[in-house]
Structure 1
């Protein structure tokens, strides 16, 4: 799945990994998240998220700013370029989903979602918002 997703992104001219796309989505939903909160929301440890954010800063997708409330933490914000790239991902994601769902009935899709929720719960103890 990751391979095909990367292929679709490349075909749409997007230099974006799945992990970067997840961060863009979380920040699109709630811009200005603290870096620690973002690590938790994306199921990443703090050091791997820091490396990912450094790459995203180099691409001008995000900017980190020191928190006004707690000088020890950073808040992460989308840049205009990050917003533009996020919106450009929509057609690529739609294409990817259409390919995945091809020839599946609504009942089959429902069963797949239920199974994936159970698998995620087995790993995390948390229910998925699928």
Structure 2
């Protein structure tokens, strides 16, 4: 017989539903990028968006804004640099700091990805009222606060 403390009701818990939804969105977005001949991952798109909003961020700032640790961000940036989407430049003020800049190709790819992202967001919100959307966003913010994590809006 199972001890009551070991039972977890996954079907009626928020966590697994969030996880499934995120995986589904990631998969569909990756497929949409492929269909539209956009060589981009969701993680790369997030970096392009942050740099589009504030070009020249240093790696520490970018790691914080994208919720990535420094080593995984470095690997991601290396891939993006190899694709010629970004350029890393040593800071004039501190030689240990690298600032990240969008290249013209990076700007072009981000611009090309925007209609795909807009279509994805529209699909996600289909049949969801503004009230439901607002409630869901507020609920997700509460979940984030439960982890005492400051999450920057995307």
Fold shared per TM-score above 0.5: yes
2:124 paired residue number: 100
Q: Which consecutive unaligned segments of at least 5 residues does structure 2 have?
A: 1-24
Q: Distance in 2 between matches of 1:71 and 1:128?
A: 28
Instruction: Tell me how far apart the structure 1 counterparts of residues 133 and 37 of structure 2 sit (CA, whole Å).
Output: 29
Change beyond 3 A, Cα 1:128–1:34: closer
Counterpart of 2:102 in structure 1 is: 78
Q: What CA RMSD, in Å, does the superposition of the two structures yield over aligned residues?
A: 1.3
Of 71-80 and 120-129, the range deviating more from structure 2 = 120-129
Contact 1:60-1:81 at 8 Å conserved across structures: yes
Distance change (3 Å), C-alpha of 1:68 and 1:127: closer
TM-score, normalized by length of structure 1?
A: 0.94
User: Quick one: higher RCO (CA 8 Å, sep 6+), 1 or 2?
Assistant: 1
**4+ aligned runs moved over 6 Å, structure 1:** none
Larger Rg: 2
What's the TM-score, normalizing by structure 2? Answer: 0.80
- The total of aligned residue pairs comes to 130
State the distance in 2 between where 1:6 and 1:123 align: 28
